Structure 1
């Protein structure tokens, strides 16, 4: 199958929703579930103990494209409690321009399984978009893909953490957002506040796409034209060299 590769900095937008699930080694301690989705607010409001939530998109170049996302969540927990897992989900939207305009909805997932007492956790990572299929270029407008593992309107069963993680691992998902080059620091604290800070950079992405027929023709024509110009230039150089050095006359004299 014909495919092209393009490197581009996507326009990434945080969609305004989040889900943080923190579990403990002690089964008698309720998990922390801080979520902006209506399902969690309706049925699990008593588990939402986050008293501080800060989410900020950073655009230092003032070009309208955020280049990183900074998040901080703080929650009260029992002293000396041992955290067994941290799961943080942040739905985002990617927008790519030419040569293949497309919008891809996906979810940033951070997961850490460990056994530590209360800590101030700081995580720094680069976001990377993986593909299991080609982006198909539209004839008009933009191609829209929605592969977010969590969004409004799902059933109660789908909002369970194990179901969300199962959806993330599904190989049928054409697009999957992963965190790479991850650096994590743990600072033990003696107070009863748990803190998780996640900073995600948006680096250049490698996109595989299926070009349209006319795009292939245009690319081939440009390559042909470039080859024609190069060939004509080389031919003219050879002709000039032959006539400037009387090589044709010299050849005739040798054969008389």
Structure 2
């Protein structure tokens, strides 16, 4: 007798797709089956695929426009900064440009993605961000070596990635500008690791001049350190400093990223 199976046939005259499921019993001389019209189901799947495609196009265009607008702001800050004579004012413009670039790079990665428009691969982002920082601050690669320790598969949603990116921007910028005043070269390490379910640690350290004893971020009125505290609070984080051997800043924070880490199934 015939093996049980699923068959697709076309109804006479209408071209509808139907599914036919043959029974498993082979006793007797006939076949009992169930036929159901799946035309509407097929139409729904096609409509869903089209809607998903349109959504992805809209998201890509949105991230592209945001990235372009932020790049314009960055360029304006760069042009304005070059026209200044006062070095303190120039440094302020460079710092603002770096912050804008940190946000622009988030949308650049999302725009370039072909599969996921909600999560940021942190290893790629942090590498690009640190390189961009050295360029903006005009720091020679031989003066400050960057060492990155980030899980290649680690990804965060846009909001968390933006906060972490701005934290790295402030901390690495501070090391690049102040850590190696008494030496011709040094190393800056950036690590991002998982310590528990939905708990992470960002650590930025350098082997430079270090910090005064008992230093805390709340004791410093500088904008960069105020931003560090504010950004850490946005991701339910705490900031700690260690200035005994160079400078190490550790941010323990929370992030929910199950969908990003497990991947996004878009198949239909």
Query: Normalization by structure 2: what TM-score?
Result: 0.23
Q: Higher relative CO (CA 8 A, sep ≥ 6), structure 1 or 2? A: 1
Relative to its length, the structure with more helix (as a share) is: 2
Query: Normalization by structure 1: what TM-score?
Result: 0.24
Relative to its length, the structure with more strand (as a share) is: 1
